[in-house]
């Protein structure tokens, strides 16, 4: 079976992707709030296991020149492409090694502050799963953290049944009665599923999710040679047997997801002392299908009840649309759907400041200075600090704000002569997604965008780029797109 996984990745390139849940600037925050004083990522040693073409690791290496990065993967073509991209982007703090995780030995005394393992655990044979956990247990630095993503039950169970059925229906041994290719079979199932009762609507939604990835993805994901979802408790049992300790989910908003009913917080309070059981209960209540869990060594110095005000040591931004309304601030998603209304004085002052600092991420000490203006009185540290910390934790838990270990500064307006930087330019020229300042992929989903991005090498003014775009696509709003890119920190 392991050969099937190996052969797949030797012969098919895994699509280039970046994953915000693996970003050490976010995972360091989640670990510190869970009580482990995780290292400063900007000077850390960072390993990506199963790094594919390096699309997740390279932007981090470009961001933190003083940190050291290693990517390993047993796909030879992927490692060759990753090494070539590092060379073309002029990155000298990253190395890519062609190696099988089962035998990878980084050398005596080498350990890592951050280990990233995205898209591996559920998709490899049991022996490789075990090797992954053993590696983390022995190669994490004393306060290091590993981020491991995996498919969870019960959320993945229907997907698993659909995948098994699709494999059966497309097997060589059958007459392929409802379609030759897996995509055709899934399309037939989608049509047959209907939309006439709660189950059919759920099934349709799951089939849409599978389709939404695109046909190319199916061979790696749902229809991959191995796809073994597990329950959270089974994962925890495996990690603790291997000498690792669960800290939290890598994104704060995933510890107690908003998908839970408002009354769940009160009802589940008695489970506070049983965090693993609480998480398993949440998975059943929300039908969770995927997790990004943070682990540390079992002997790591974890202080389970850190000072609540420690949350104010980080940097913050609000990624949502904020509007002042009578008596408060309204938070909305980008389609205008309401996320929250803030009416308490501290909340209103916090979001009023964040509406001015958005889209940058700024340290709380700066936010606090400006909050006085909206509180209409000086910020009183003895009176306001703890309530502010509580407001911040609640907002982070609900995903209303994002916290990072460090500030993210950039000019949110497009420069007169747009220059994307070597790595983003390379991605644009290769037709891959560009990675923004928050490690989010920006898909160049049409040829006009790809061509235009590839021309943003610092040699053309805005007017020249507009003229270039207009020759091929007169209806394309170049100024609006440049503004969008600038607001994502693409121009530094
Ligand atoms: C699903 S892809 C994930 C790629 C990337 N981490 C991501 O999430 O975008 C899995 C990657 O793990 C690699 N891989 C699988 N088993 C491996 C092993 N035993 N040793 C090294 N790499 C392995 C594959 O070659 C492939 O690039």
What is the model's pLDDT at position 3?
A: 84
**Residue 96, Ramachandran bin (φ over 0: left; ψ between -120 and 50: alpha; else beta):** beta
Give me 316's structure tokens: 């913050």
Cα 264-295-365 angle, rounded to 5 deg: 75
What is the model's pLDDT at position 133?
A: 98
Closest atom, ligand 1, to C-alpha of 131: 19
Closest atom, ligand 1, to C-alpha of 220: 1
Q: What is the C-alpha end-to-end distance of the chain, expressed in Å?
A: 45
Q: Is residue 7 within 6 Å of ligand 1 at its C-beta? A: no
DSSP labels, 205-224:
HHHHHHHHT-HHHHTTTTTS
φ/ψ of 96, rounded to 5, equals -120, 130
What is the model's pLDDT at position 1?
A: 40
What is the model's pLDDT at position 174?
A: 82
Instruction: State in Å: Cα 197 to ligand 1 middle.
Output: 39
Distance of CA 55 to the CA centre of its chain: 13
Superfamily holding 2-153+229-297: Vaccinia Virus protein VP39 (3.40.50.150)
The DSSP bridge partners found for residue 435 are 441
What is the model's pLDDT at position 180?
A: 87
What pTM value is reported for the model?
0.96
Q: Is residue 100 within 6 Å of ligand 1 at its C-beta? A: yes
What is the model's pLDDT at position 446?
A: 86
Closest atom, ligand 1, to C-alpha of 116: 6
What is the model's pLDDT at position 458?
A: 96
Nearest CA to ligand 1 atom 14: 50
Q: What is the pLDDT along the chain (492 residues), one digit of tens a residue?
A: 458 999 999 999 899 999 999 999 999 999 999 999 999 999 999 999 999 999 999 999 999 999 999 999 999 999 999 999 999 999 999 999 999 999 999 999 999 999 999 999 999 999 999 999 999 999 999 999 999 999 999 999 999 999 999 999 998 888 888 888 899 999 999 999 999 999 999 999 999 999 888 878 889 989 999 999 999 999 999 999 999 999 999 999 999 998 999 999 999 999 999 999 999 999 999 999 999 999 999 999 999 888 999 999 999 999 999 999 988 999 999 889 999 999 999 999 999 999 999 999 999 999 999 999 999 888 999 999 999 999 999 999 999 999 999 999 999 999 999 999 999 999 999 999 999 999 999 999 888 899 999 999 999 999 999 988 888 777 889 999 999 999 999 998
* Domain layout of the chain by residue ranges: 2-153+229-297, 157-218, 308-404, 422-487
């Amino acid at each position: 079976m392991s050969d099937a996984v190996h052969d797949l990745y030797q012969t098919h390139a895994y699509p280039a992707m970046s994953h915000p849940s693996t970003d050490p600037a976010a995972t360091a925050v989640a670990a510190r709030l869970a009580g482990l004083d995780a290292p400063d990522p900007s000077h850390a040693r960072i390993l990506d296991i199963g790094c594919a073409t390096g699309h997740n690791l390279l932007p981090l290496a470009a961001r933190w020149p003083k940190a050291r990065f290693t990517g390993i993967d047993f796909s030879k073509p992927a490692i060759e492409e990753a090494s070539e991209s590092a060379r073309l982007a002029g990155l000298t703090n990253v190395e890519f090694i062609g190696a099988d995780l089962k035998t990878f030995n980084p050398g005596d005394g080498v350990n890592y502050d951050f280990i990233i393992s995205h898209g591996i655990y559920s998709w490899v044979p049991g022996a490789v799963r075990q090797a992954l956990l053993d590696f983390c247990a022995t190669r994490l630095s004393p306060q290091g953290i590993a981020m491991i993503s995996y498919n969870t039950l019960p959320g993945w169970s229907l997907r698993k049944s659909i995948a098994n059925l699709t494999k059966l229906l497309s097997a060589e041994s059958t007459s392929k009665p409802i379609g030759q290719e897996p995509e055709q079979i899934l399309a037939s199932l989608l049509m047959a599923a209907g939309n006439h009762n709660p189950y059919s609507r759920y099934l349709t939604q799951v089939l849409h999710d599978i389709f939404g990835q695109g046909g190319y993805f199916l061979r790696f994901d749902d229809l991959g040679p191995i796809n073994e979802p597990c329950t959270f408790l089974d994962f925890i049992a495996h990690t603790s047997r291997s000498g690792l300790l669960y800290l939290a989910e890598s994104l704060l908003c995933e510890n107690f997801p908003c998908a839970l009913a408002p009354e769940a917080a009160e009802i589940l309070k008695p489970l506070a002392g049983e965090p693993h059981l609480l998480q398993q209960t949440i998975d059943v209540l929300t039908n969770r299908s995927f997790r990004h869990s943070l682990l540390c060594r079992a002997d790591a110095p974890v202080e389970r009840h850190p000072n609540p005000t420690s949350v104010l040591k980080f940097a913050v931004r609000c990624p949502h649309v904020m509007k002042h309304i009578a008596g408060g601030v309204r938070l909305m998603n980008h389609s205008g759907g309401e996320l929250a209304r803030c009416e308490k004085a501290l909340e209103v002052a916090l979001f009023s400041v964040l509406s001015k600092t958005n889209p940058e991420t700024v340290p709380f000490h700066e936010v606090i200075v400006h909050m006085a203006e909206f509180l209409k009185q000086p910020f009183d540290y003895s009176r306001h600090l703890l309530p502010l910390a509580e407001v911040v934790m609640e907002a982070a838990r609900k995903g209303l704000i994002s916290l990072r270990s460090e500030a993210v500064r950039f000019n949110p307006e497009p420069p007169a002569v747009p220059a994307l930087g070597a790595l983003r330019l390379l991605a644009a020229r290769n037709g891959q997604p560009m990675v923004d300042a928050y490690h989010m992929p920006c898909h160049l989903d049409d040829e006009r965008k790809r061509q235009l991005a590839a021309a943003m090498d610092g040699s053309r003014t805005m007017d020249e780029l507009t003229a270039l775009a207009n020759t091929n696509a007169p209806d394309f709003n170049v100024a609006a797109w440049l503004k969008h890119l600038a607001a994502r920190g693409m121009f530094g």
